[in-house]
Amino acid sequence: MLASLKRLWQNPLTAYYLALVILIILAWFARGFLSLALFTIIFIYLGNAAIGGLERRLPLPHGLMTLLVYLVFLGILVAAFAQIIPPLVSEASNLPHTVERLIQTYPQLESSAKKLMTNLSQNASVVSNGKAIFTSGIGKLSRLSSGVETIVLAFFFSFIFNLTKPQLQRFVHAFTLSRFAKLFVPMGQLIATFVQIFGTVIETQLLICTINTILMVFGLWLLKMPSLLILGIMVFFLGLIPVAGVLISLIPLGIIAFVTGGLLRLVEVLVLVALIHMFESYFLHPRLMANATNLPIFVTFITLIVSEQIFGAWGLIVGVPLVAFFLKVFDVNLTTPAATHTKKSAA
């Protein structure tokens, strides 16, 4: 019995798959920190890529280069929000005047609105549902503030990681020389594999956001919307947030459209956003993700649907790299042509 267990432990695949099981268990217990972990990985990957690219061109110390890169990142974010928020506040302040002009143009709207409010206030079920919607809205606002806090923490953690990367490499290397090195080495390999695949997906998501932003700005230009540069910056940054980014961007876009062009322009903008979102969801996202991970488009499409149901909005980002990761773990080579495989089988 002991001899069998010893032979089993000496098999390299045993330690490899045991490390995989341990990582899955740890990830399951840490699922409450999924957003923080994923944002941190994204910032670490982007920061590390920028730092590595600059270090090959500029002979500066690693710490100074890291500080410069993150200051530039922070400056871009601050400048973007400084350009976005004032026009939105200005347009929002004009919203009451726009509603007033709309009522003056169509007086019947005021009487219809009063009748509707009277009927709704007398309906007990509507009142109770309204309270539930209000409570849900407060909860979503609190989650939004929590999301901002998560992004700030992830940005800070990624900065510390990239700043102390040499020390962390020595720390991790010490585990590979420990008594349980046979377990820690495959764990490190698995983590590195997932981060590499996830990084490829993040690069693809950035490309998708760029294409969406170009299409959105072009559509807004056709609709003669003002402040195209500011709206483009806003659409790009919010596009990095799966699903929720589209819904959040609808609020400022809807306000500006209604203030500058009334109900007609508001409807036009809503139709434009819906069309671009459908183009992204049903064509662009599955196609580019399939190309990035060598998965068939049908498999990518099904993965996006299933993972969105399991993981929520994050499933649109995590689902495809998880499938690609497990295929690599089980040594499924998707780059081998089918014809070559057939010839080998025939031989």
Q: In the prediction, which pLDDT does 112 show?
A: 59
8 A C-beta contact, residue 194 and residue 38: no
Say what the pLDDT of residue 5 is. 63
**Tokens of residue 7, six digits:** 């032979």
Query: Is residue 294 within a helix (H) or strand (E), and if so which, with residue range?
Result: none
**Number of helices and strands in the chain (H, E):** 15, 0
- Indicate the pTM of the whole model: 0.66
pLDDT along the chain (347 residues), means of 10: 65 80 85 80 85 83 87 80 66 61 56 60 52 48 60 88 88 85 85 84 83 88 80 77 68 78 82 85 78 78 80 75 85 61 44
**pLDDT confidence of residue 23:** 87
Q: State how far the alpha carbon of 158 is from the alpha carbons of 37, 48, 76, 330, in Å.
A: 10, 9, 17, 30
| Nearest of 337, 312, 303, 44 to residue 196 by alpha carbon | 44
